[in-house]
Structure 1
Amino acid sequence: MQDVARLQCPWCGERFETLVDASAGDADYIEDCPVCCRPIEMHLSIDEDGTHLAAGRED
């Protein structure tokens, strides 16, 4: 099952939407910002309160 998540790029500050697949459980992955193309570190966690997606950057 895929959900839509709304995020703000930690590099350029632009807001965008991305698809999140929570069917496999918790995950860490890299996704490029669709505006500035810089890599965003994504951390997906699932608990009893729902699905949570955190976005950060390496530096």
Structure 2
Amino acid sequence: MKFFPSKVRYSILAGLAAYGTYKLVFDIIGIGSTLQNCPLSSEGTITVICYIFGLS
């Protein structure tokens, strides 16, 4: 059985792309839940996100 470095490279890239998509989806969900709680929170990063979206 031969070793194909190009297939390994593509599988690593596919894994990184899947991880990036997974992380992006949960970041978007987190920002959405943060925006719903803008009036209730006054912490650092949450305040910045609320300010960017004009909810502060």
TM-score of the superposed pair, with normalisation by structure 1: 0.19
**Bigger Cα Rg:** 2
| Larger relative helix fraction | 2
TM-score of the superposed pair, with normalisation by structure 2: 0.20
